């Protein structure tokens, strides 16, 4: 069969993957701490008789680490990270990392995410507060005060650029390389009463969806035209 069909089909597969990625970004435009995904694609060269044929190959998915917008909420249990750090949370899959700092205190005094995962300090231990101990005050370095005494400190972790990240839930990430506790608490700190939103650019994401859909339609038309051409050729040759 002619290589044009295979090239068009490979392009459709690539666009299908990209469409799913962008659609997921759009669906999470208002998810706290969400990090957008991008997909890098490659070209595969293959010999087709005497010609070199370019096929589109599925590439790798990358997490965009750019910071999302930070906005005030007035909630003393909302925390936003300043810098490149990540909160550490306990999950069934192990230690995960998130920028979604919307926290709650359980009746037992455990500091948890809104999805129920325990928040840890820089040593990986769960942060424990007094559920009836009054207001919580958090310093810019992540230190936690309650009843006039220091009861803990937020674990802020820095993920290496070389780490491979994968999603866990809506806004948390798993890393194949453990995060290192942030040493510089001036560069990597915490703002109490603020939350970080998704870093998805809504205008760009919607424009990408439209562009991908149009490109997919063009590729589909190309496949249909090529199939029709082959059918005409078969009918013509079969009649001879």
Taking Cα atoms as reference points, which of 18, 60, 34, 17 lies closest to residue 167? 34
Query: How confident is the model at residue 221, as a pLDDT?
Result: 73
Query: How confident is the model at residue 163, as a pLDDT?
Result: 93
Query: How confident is the model at residue 126, as a pLDDT?
Result: 96
Domains of the chain are: 3-62+200-239 (1.10.287), 70-196 (no CATH)
SS3 state of residue 49: coil
- Average pLDDT on 198-227 reads 81
Give this prediction's pTM: 0.79
Query: How confident is the model at residue 69, as a pLDDT?
Result: 95
Distance (Å, whole) CA 178 – CA 77: 26
Q: What is the pLDDT of residues 160-202, one digit of tens each?
A: 999 999 999 989 999 999 999 998 888 899 999 999 999 999 9
Which residue reads 């970004």 in tokens? 25
- Indicate whether 100 pLDDT > 90: yes
Distance (Å, whole) CA 21 – CA 64: 12
- Indicate whether 237 pLDDT > 50: yes
Which residue reads 């205190």 in tokens? 105
Query: How confident is the model at residue 1, as a pLDDT?
Result: 47
Higher pLDDT, 223 or 95: 95
Higher pLDDT, 62 or 58: 62
What mean pLDDT value characterizes the chain?
A: 85
Q: How confident is the model at residue 54 (pLDDT cuts 50, 70, 90)?
A: low
Distance (Å, whole) CA 161 – CA 88: 17
Helices (H) and strands (E) in the chain, counts: 2, 17
- Which residues, other chains included, contact 102 with Cβ-Cβ below 8 Å and sequence gap of 6+? 32, 75, 77, 78, 113, 114, 195
Phi and psi for 45 in degrees, rounded to 5? -95, 135
Query: How confident is the model at residue 28, as a pLDDT?
Result: 94
- Indicate whether 45 pLDDT > 50: no
Query: How confident is the model at residue 164, as a pLDDT?
Result: 92
């Amino acid at each position: 069969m002619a290589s044009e069909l295979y090239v068009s089909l490979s392009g459709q597969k690539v666009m299908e993957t990209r469409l799913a990625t962008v659609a997921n970004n759009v669906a999470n435009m208002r998810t706290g701490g969400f990090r957008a995904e991008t997909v890098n694609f490659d070209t595969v060269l293959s010999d087709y008789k005497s010609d070199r044929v370019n096929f589109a190959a599925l590439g790798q998915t990358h997490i965009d680490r750019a910071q999302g917008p930070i906005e005030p909420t007035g909630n003393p249990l909302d925390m936003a990270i300043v810098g490149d750090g990540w909160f550490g949370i306990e999950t069934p899959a192990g230690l995960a990392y998130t920028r979604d700092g919307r926290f709650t205190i359980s009746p037992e005094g455990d500091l948890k995410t809104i999805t129920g995962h325990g928040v840890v300090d820089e040593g990986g231990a769960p942060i424990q507060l007094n559920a009836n101990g009054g207001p919580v005050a958090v310093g810019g370095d992540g230190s936690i005060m309650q009843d006039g005494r220091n009861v803990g400190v937020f674990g802020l972790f820095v993920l290496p650029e070389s780490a491979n990240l994968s999603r866990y839930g809506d806004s948390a990430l798993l890393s194949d390389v453990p995060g290192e506790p942030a040493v510089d608490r001036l560069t990597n700190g915490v703002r109490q009463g603020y939350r970080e939103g998704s870093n998805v650019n809504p205008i760009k994401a919607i424009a990408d969806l439209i562009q991908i859909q149009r490109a997919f339609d063009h590729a589909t038309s190309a496949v249909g035209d090529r199939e029709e051409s082959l059918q005409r050729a078969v009918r013509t040759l079969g009649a001879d």
